Structure 1
Amino acid sequence: MSSTKDKITGNTNEAIGKVKESIGKATDNPSLEGEGLAQQVKGKGQQLKGDVKDAIKRGVDKA
């Protein structure tokens, strides 16, 4: 997966996670709220993965 695709997927997971968390809070559903929080963490990890790929590519391009 390319760094851009990782970042897009990460942003998508974060956004969906925030929606799930909000719906979970609004409906008093702790399971859905927790699922949303977990999906947000997953999204942040995917974005970080994309950032690392970019940093490695920049390092290789300089060499």
Structure 2
Amino acid sequence: MNKDRIVGSAKQIKGAIEETTGKVFGDSKLTAEGKSDKAEGKIQNAIGGVKDTLKK
């Protein structure tokens, strides 16, 4: 597991927390930021997976 996968997973978790918090408090901006962070984390995690595959 490389740095990209770790950081990507952390961004996904952060995004999920922001999205949930935004929904609970009715904050559409926070919800949107959370969704964006989750998507960014998924992409970064996928890039890390590709790097891991190429190293093998």
Instruction: Please give the alpha-carbon distance, in whole angstroms, between the structure 2 residues aligned to 1:7 and 1:54.
Output: 9
Instruction: Please give the alpha-carbon distance, in whole angstroms, between the structure 1 residues aligned to 2:52 and 2:13.
Output: 22
Which has more radius of gyration? 1
Corresponding residue number in structure 2 for 1:23: 21
How far apart are residue 10 of structure 1 and its match?
Answer: 0.4
How far apart are residue 45 of structure 1 and its match?
Answer: 0.5
Specify every segment of 5 or more residues in structure 2 that has no aligned partner in the other structure, as ranges. Answer: none
Instruction: Please give the alpha-carbon distance, in whole angstroms, between the structure 2 residues aligned to 1:35 and 1:54.
Output: 28
| 4+ residue segments displaced more than 4 Å | none
Q: TM-score, normalised by structure 1?
A: 0.84
How far apart are residue 22 of structure 1 and its match?
Answer: 0.5
Identity %: 34
Corresponding residue number in structure 2 for 1:53: 51
Q: Let me know the Cα RMSD of the aligned residues.
A: 0.9
Name the aligned partner's letter for residue 44 of structure 1.
K
